[in-house]
Structure 1
Amino acid sequence: MQLEITAEAFDGSITNLNIYIDNEAAESLTSPPYIYTLIGKSLEMGDHTIKVIATDDKSENSFDEIQISLSTTIKDADGNTYRTLKIGDQWWTAENLRTTKYNDGTPIPLKSSSSAWEASFAGAYCWYENDKNTYKDTYGALYNWYAVETEKLCPQGWHVPKNGEWLKLRNYLSANGHKDTEGNALKTTTGWYNDGNGTDDYSFSGIPSGYRNHKGTFGAGGAYADWWTSSEQISTSAWAIDLIYGQAGILQGGGYKECGYSVRCIKN
């Protein structure tokens, strides 16, 4: 990132400029020009406080303080780029995953036919309605839970959220002005069936990408958003998180491991 801080006195009386980032000294300038440029500094994603203290020739101080929030994009093994965003103290991808490879470069098997999908007891993916051209860039891919179970779906440094991490997000939204409307706060403002759109207050872009059931049948595009968690429910199913048109909250459910759901990633 690039951020330039300039201190200038009309009477030329500045003798020292000290810059602090998150209460730690970053730079001390003792001669003009009093310009500090933050380029390529190692700042992690998140909120940071930059404080600037200028000292004049009478040893009097004046200061200013700014808050910055750093976000970034990440890439998967296919080279697809994803926006990220911070909600509370969690960093999320703001788009559904659409990689066709695990993060070690291994291809994920594409299972298009219903019979092949139903018979898959290892990691697999597909596109909604088997229509890549229409749905890849909007809905992303649908993955069975066996792909999630590999722990290699998300880019390095990120992972498929556990059930508890999704519930932490729901609790944060509930406590910050969205009690009982947590789902609406995440839904996109367009694309939902029967005017069931949300407010997308955090740019999470919860799009109704539908699902593929364990028999290989597609459904609910435009009406449901179903995301896998990495948490197993019982031997045949795993926890999932749902947004549904006509319902304002975030629902917690489960699905057979052979089902195809969307995936979001959360930062380690």
Structure 2
Amino acid sequence: MQQRIYHILLFFLMAGIIPAAGQELRKGGSVISLEGDSLVRLVLGEYRGVAVWQESTDSLTWVTAAGISGDTLTVNPLREGYFRAEVTEGTCLPVGSQTARILFTLPRIATAEVTDITETTALCGGIVSSDGGAPVTARGVCLSLRENASVTGTCTTDGSGTGGFFSLLTGLIPDTVYYAQAYAQNSKGIAYGAVVSFRTPPEIRLPEVATWEVMDITATTATGGGYIFSDGGAPVTARGVCLSLRKNPSVTGTCTTDGSGTGGFFSLLTGLIPDTVYYAQAYARNSKGIAYGAVVSFRTPPEIRLPEVATWEVMDITATTATGGGYIFSDGGAPVTARGVCLSLRKNPSVTGTCTTDGSGTGGFFSLLTGLIPDTVYYAQAYARNSKGIAYGAVVSFRTPPAEDPNSVTDIDGNVYPVVKIGDQEWMARNLRVTKAPDGTPISSYVVGNDPGNALIYGRHYTWDVAMNGSAEESAQGICPDGWHLPSDEEFKILEMALGMTRQEADQSNAWRGTGVGTQMKEGGSSGLDIPIAGMCVGGSFLYVGQSGYIYSSTEAGSYAWRRCLSTNASTVGRWNTFPKSYAFSVRCLKNN
């Protein structure tokens, strides 16, 4: 028998699954509401007959929900199951409603990127966007050396519930790849986010530091420094030198700060005490700590004093020039920045008067005294200046001779040369040793042994272009004194013929000519020329000194210039044009007619 059903129950969710707590869904006039976090209420609409609430674990075998009657079934939402209402009317077969199912799912969780990574720690976390219908009771991050981290391994526990959270990962191994995975647990089980990997940096060590030896030591200052070979894996943020009167300086004492990073550096150490032993140690700081180099010691010199100076006797005195000088035995503990000779007509010359300036430093020096008055007594005193002040040597006196006679000539430097007349020519009887052109411009020259004293013996050596002072004309003045000039090749021949050489001999090229003429011209010879065997200078090096002598003429021969040659082993005179003009030879000047 078929009984009419007045109402068909409709009270189910989409796919028959009740949503998360606190939501409500209406369908076909029936209401299923979830109230709060602990109850699920299934509410029937209008019906006829008797309603019985039933439950099942598999939707096949149903039992009556004990102790429940009325239009509303209340169950604990933390319990999964199938629920329905069965309505009967009279003797008709019962009619069951559609089935409602309370179904939980795993939470939904995402793994956050790993940040703030150090060699032993890192910061990770996650976001639980859904609890799956059941409270999240635990959440955190699982960590592993393999790609599949899980809660069976090492995991953090970072609270419960939904939303974001942070996880501090500690005890990590430096320079190691890790795999991290956020997790969330509810009554359904454990859900995992995506696996993210990261590498810890190498372990930070102290920097590697070396201390340099201390240099440029004065009574109150010095220069130290060091070298940072390695930063230990973290930037060097400070470096410098620590200084102490004890053997173990440290950054708790007096230290310089000299930049950052690796590599070498210098440190200026100031405020030192004279005549004191100090201990210095380079340091470097990184995030690990402070490393030190080896300790080095040094002693500051005694307090700066005035230099110790001696005045040399004045020599090479002419009517208008002389050569003085002095010797600096000690700089007094500070560099000698100026030295020279002070000159006066009174007995106490000083730097407030007329003084020369002849370099710096300790040791000996010469001073050329010029502009002197003939037949006059002068007082000379060497001086030296350092940071302490000016020290003087003893006062020496000398007298200039009367004005020079006509049998001498003086160059722009004040050098005096005797003059010898041969035939109708007047020649210098010494090799030229001037250091300036007639207009006062300094010129390049060379002196045997680089000893200024040898200039008095051999004269100076000049290249042809310097000797000619840039001119290419025969008999040009060159670097000779005013009224004098560099002799031409023909003028040399006139000299040689005046000493007994024939014209035929004089005209011979690139040959030794005129027996006995060379002997007359050499030092000690009867001509009075006294030409020394001064050698030549090539590229700054002297050759054949004491063996051969070479003198330039002003006459060119193609790309060369004619010269005269004398030898200790020959009585003749050589006339050659075979050496480059860049070779430096001696120079003799001839008076203009």
Q: TM-score, normalization: structure 2?
A: 0.28
CA contact (8 A) 2:437 2:479 kept: yes
Q: Is 1:244 equivalent to 2:579 in the alignment?
A: no
Higher RCO (CA 8 Å, separation ≥ 6 residues): 1
Matched, 1:266 2:590: yes
2:450 pairs with 1:130: yes
Matched, 1:105 2:440: yes
C-alpha separation between the residues in 2 aligned to 1:226 and 1:171? 19
Q: Which amino acid aligns with 1:100?
A: T
Kept in 1, the 8 Å contact 2:446–2:540? The answer is no
Residues 216, 175 of structure 1: alpha-carbon distance in 2 compared, 3 angstrom cutoff: closer
Aligned to 2:494: 168
Separation in structure 1 between the aligned mates of residue 465 and residue 522 of structure 2, nearest angstrom: 27
3-state DSSP of counterpart to 2:499: helix
**What whole-Å deviation, never above 9, does each CA across 1:70-103 have from its counterpart, x for those lacking one?**
9511110100000001001110000000000011
Rounded to whole Å, the distance in 2 between the matches of 1:203 and 1:179 is 18
Please say if 1:219 is aligned against 2:539.
no
Work out whether residues 75 and 82 of structure 1, in 8 Å CA contact, stay in contact via their aligned partners in 2. yes
Three-state SS of the structure 2 residue aligned to 1:222 is coil
Q: 1:85 aligns with which of 420, 423, 427?
A: 420
2:456 and 2:432 mapped to 1: Cα distance? 10
Indicate the structure (1 or 2) with the bigger Cα radius of gyration.
2
Number of equivalent positions: 170
Letter in 2 for 1:90: Q
Counterpart-to-counterpart distance in 2, 1:175 and 1:217: 34
Two-structure CA RMSD over aligned residues (Å) = 1.9
SS at match of 1:208: coil
**Which residue is equivalent to 1:32?**
none
Measured after TM superposition, the shift of residue 129 of structure 1 is 2.8
Q: 1:203 to 1:130 in 2, by over 3 A?
A: same
Give the letter aligned to residue 125 of structure 1: S
Matched residue of 1:126: which SS?
coil
Residue 576 of structure 2 corresponds to residue 257 of structure 1 = no
Matched letter for residue 551 of structure 2: W
Helix, strand or coil: the match of 2:498?
helix
Is the partner of 2:518 in helix, strand or coil? Answer: helix
The amino acid of 1:245's aligned partner reads: T
Amino acid at match of 2:485: H
Question: For 2:529, which of 195, 200, 204 is the aligned residue?
Answer: 204
Which residue number in structure 2 is paired with residue 142 of structure 1? 461
1:181–1:216 distance in 2 versus 1, CA, 3 Å: same
The question of whether the paired residues in 2 share the 8 Å contact of 1:173 and 1:179 is answered with no
CA distance in 1 between partners of 2:527 and 2:516 (Å): 13
The amino acid that maps onto 2:552 is: W
Kept in 2, the 8 Å contact 1:104–1:152? The answer is no
The separation in 2 between residues aligned to 1:241 and 1:179, in whole angstroms, is 12
Per-residue deviation, residues 185-227 of structure 1 (Å, max 9, x unmatched)? 11123xxxxxxxxxx10211111111112x4331111111110
CA–CA distance in structure 1, aligned partners of residues 452 and 408 of structure 2: 23
Q: Distance in 2 between matches of 1:93 and 1:81?
A: 10
CA distance in 1, matches of 2:416, 2:483: 15
Answer yes or no: is 1:96 the counterpart of 2:431.
yes
Shift of 1:250: 1.0
Q: Distance in 2 between matches of 1:86 and 1:71?
A: 12
Per-residue displacement from partner, 1:85-124 (whole Å, max 9, x unpaired)? 100111000000000001111111xxxxxxxxxxxxxxx3
Partner Cα distance (2:571, 2:564) in 1: 13
SS in structure 1 at match of 2:482: coil
Read off the aligned partner of 1:252 and give its amino acid letter: R
8 Å contact kept, 2:501–2:517: no
Instruction: Give the letter for the 2:574 counterpart.
Output: L
Q: CA deviation at 1:161?
A: 0.5
Residue pair 2:514, 2:573 contacting (<8 A) in 1 also: no
Q: Which runs of 5+ in 1 are unaligned?
A: 1-69, 109-123, 190-199
Q: Does 1:155 align with 2:481?
A: yes
- Secondary structure at 1:170 match in 2: helix
Q: Give the equivalent residue in structure 1 for 2:335.
A: none
Contact 1:128–1:211 (Cα < 8 Å) also in 2: no
Q: Distance in 2 between matches of 1:161 and 1:201?
A: 21
Runs (5+) with no aligned partner, structure 2: 1-404, 470-476, 503-512
For residue 175 of structure 1, report the CA deviation from its aligned partner: 5.5
Q: Secondary structure at the match of 1:183?
A: helix
Q: Give the structure 1 partner of residue 223 of structure 2.
A: none
> Structure 1 pair 257/159, CA: closer, same or farther in 2 (3 Å)?
same
Distance 1:216 1:256 in 2: 14
CA contact (8 A) 2:468 2:486 kept: no
Which ranges of 4 or more aligned residues in structure 1 deviate by more than 6 Å? none
Between structures 1 and 2, the one with greater helix share: 1
Deviation at 1:128, TM superposition (A): 1.6
